[in-house]
Structure 1
Amino acid sequence: MRYLFPFLSFLLFTTSAQAQSAQRPGLSVTPLNKQVYVHTTYGMYGGTAVPANGLIIRTKDGIVLVDTGWDTDNNTDNTRELLQWISQNLHQPVRLCIVTHGHEDRVGGISELRKAGVRVVSTPLTAQKSVKLGFESPEGILSNDTTFSIGNEPIRCYFPGQGHTADNIVVWLPNQKILYGGCLVKSVAAFGMGNLADANLNEWGNSIQNLMTQFKSARIVVPGHDEWTDTRSLAHTLQLLKKHAESKK
């Protein structure tokens, strides 16, 4: 990750006895710069522990989260640990959480955030899907292209089109030139398309092309799972989609 500042080469890593087991690692937090961190929690998928990424954004008026920890309706340990880490290390309140689509690796910790008094927002469609999955509903107030500022930090929530799900949005930080692609974007470390249960494979490629046009100045692109490098992850997603289509012929 050549865009990281030299003094950020270390990894901030924390675990708790409650969250960590032999099967599922605990929380890790990795700084991208002085203001933005990637939080990574783990869930079980196909019998394997899989990492899920989200963002922690520091502003002058508090913390903004992008996506909760990967939790279930009866176990919110990951999001609880995330809130504890922020309190102990950043010493700021969490003001808001933006959830990027209605799957448990994005919305699973809503109840824990609500207990802590954190406002959780999404698009109306994500709010509907969250309820269908058995989770509390975020406030479905985001339009398909919403920009707002918290603590002088502009944050853009953008729907580029269907792909991983019908409701997947991305988050753009223009001051940081960081694009959080969520599960619409596949890591360069990915060899397959992952969970396609709610995918629109016919539109996914068009949505990625839209991102490449809209956010061509991105220095870092953070996918929903696995490692992040630079904008090669967008091109890699297109390659994976092409391979998947060819395998179905």
Structure 2
Amino acid sequence: MRILPLLFLAALLTGFARTQPAPKPKLVVTPLNDRVYVHTTYGVYQNNSIPSNGLIIKTSDGIVLVDTGWDTKDDTDNSRQLLQWVADNLRQPVRMCIVTHAHEDRVGGISEMRKAGVRVISTPLTAQKSVKLGYDAPESVLPNDTTFTVGQVPIRCYFPGEGHTSDNIVVWLPNEQILHGGCFVKSVGAFGMGNVADANLNEWVNSIRRVKTQFGTAKIVVPGHDEWGDTRSLEHTLQLLSKHAAANR
């Protein structure tokens, strides 16, 4: 007569096991050339593990990061892994981290960066929005369009207009012809617009067109999520915006 209770217990334990989230994938670093790498960390969106891309830029005066790892206020392990990878593999100090907008997949690791003595910079609007979300404020030193040089490597930070968020910027490496589009640019593998909670869907098209005008010579475009490649990502983003608009008329 104990069979039914035992079966019930087994079913309960099986169901409990199935509801446990899968282990979060570890940091992945992929070289684009011998000076620029993509760092990919993972976060959870709508119960799925999603990859998030940033850049590691090697200069003669140290490392520049574009975006932190995808972290939260309570867990900064991704950014900790990122800093450890740089220390172990590139053996240079991280001089700076540029954050491209105020979402946790870009600014979540600011506290970890600060703890390691890394300077974190952004536009004034991103700094304000970071504080409202409960994260540390980056230094609000970036104008809407500026180029600066670290270790003889020019880096351009450009605000194209509102899109994924009101504060999204892109980062351009002219020597490499590499564009980091962040979440403003969708991967060619994306089927939808993803998180549009803070998006300006009406202006996003115009903003993408400005990026195409400014950086149409890009050899590689790195979107905020999923796979990267050439400038087809920009055109693909326009197509996704058009489909999204048609579906929501």
TM-score when scaled to structure 2?
0.91
AA aligned opposite 2:164: H
Question: What is the 5 A alignment of 1:67-216?
Answer: 67-216=67-216
Asked whether 1:246 is paired with 2:246, we answer: yes
Q: State the secondary structure of the residue aligned to 1:34.
A: coil
Larger proportion of helix:
2
Shift of 1:90: 0.4
Does the CA-based 8 Å contact 1:162-1:207 persist in structure 2?
yes
Give the distance between the partners of 2:51 and 2:23, measured in 1 at CA: 12
Give the distance between the partners of 1:23 and 1:48, measured in 2 at CA: 11
Does the CA-based 8 Å contact 1:94-1:118 persist in structure 2?
yes
Q: State the secondary structure of the residue aligned to 1:73.
A: coil
Q: State the secondary structure of the residue aligned to 1:242.
A: helix
Shift of 1:23: 3.3
The answer for unaligned runs of 5 or more in structure 1 is 1-20
Q: Percent identity?
A: 73
Give the distance between the partners of 1:198 and 1:140, measured in 2 at CA: 20
Residue deviations 1:3-23, cap 9 Å, x none? xxxxxxxxxxxxxxxxxx833
AA aligned opposite 2:213: T
1:14 matched residue in structure 2 = none
Residue deviations 1:114-170, cap 9 Å, x none? 000000000000000100111000001100001100000000000001000000000
Give the distance between the partners of 1:216 and 1:47, measured in 2 at CA: 35
Give the distance between the partners of 2:248 and 2:65, measured in 1 at CA: 38
AA aligned opposite 2:115: K
Q: State the secondary structure of the residue aligned to 1:165.
A: coil
Give the distance between the partners of 1:122 and 1:214, measured in 2 at CA: 20
Asked whether 1:52 is paired with 2:52, we answer: yes
1:40 matched residue in structure 2 = 40
State the structure with more CA Rg: 2
Residue deviations 1:71-116, cap 9 Å, x none? 0001000000000000000000000000000000000000000000
Give the distance between the partners of 1:91 and 1:59, measured in 2 at CA: 12
TM-score when scaled to structure 1?
0.91
Shift of 1:216: 1.2
AA aligned opposite 1:27: L
AA aligned opposite 1:131: V
Residue deviations 1:52-89, cap 9 Å, x none? 00000000000000000000001000000000000000
AA aligned opposite 2:117: G
Does the CA-based 8 Å contact 1:23-1:49 persist in structure 2?
no
1:219 matched residue in structure 2 = 219
Question: Superposition RMSD on alpha carbons, in Å?
Answer: 0.7
Q: State the secondary structure of the residue aligned to 2:242.
A: helix
Q: State the secondary structure of the residue aligned to 2:57.
A: strand
Which stretches of structure 1, 4 residues or more, deviate above 6 A after TM superposition?
none
The answer for unaligned runs of 5 or more in structure 2 is 1-20
Pairs aligned (count): 229
AA aligned opposite 2:240: L
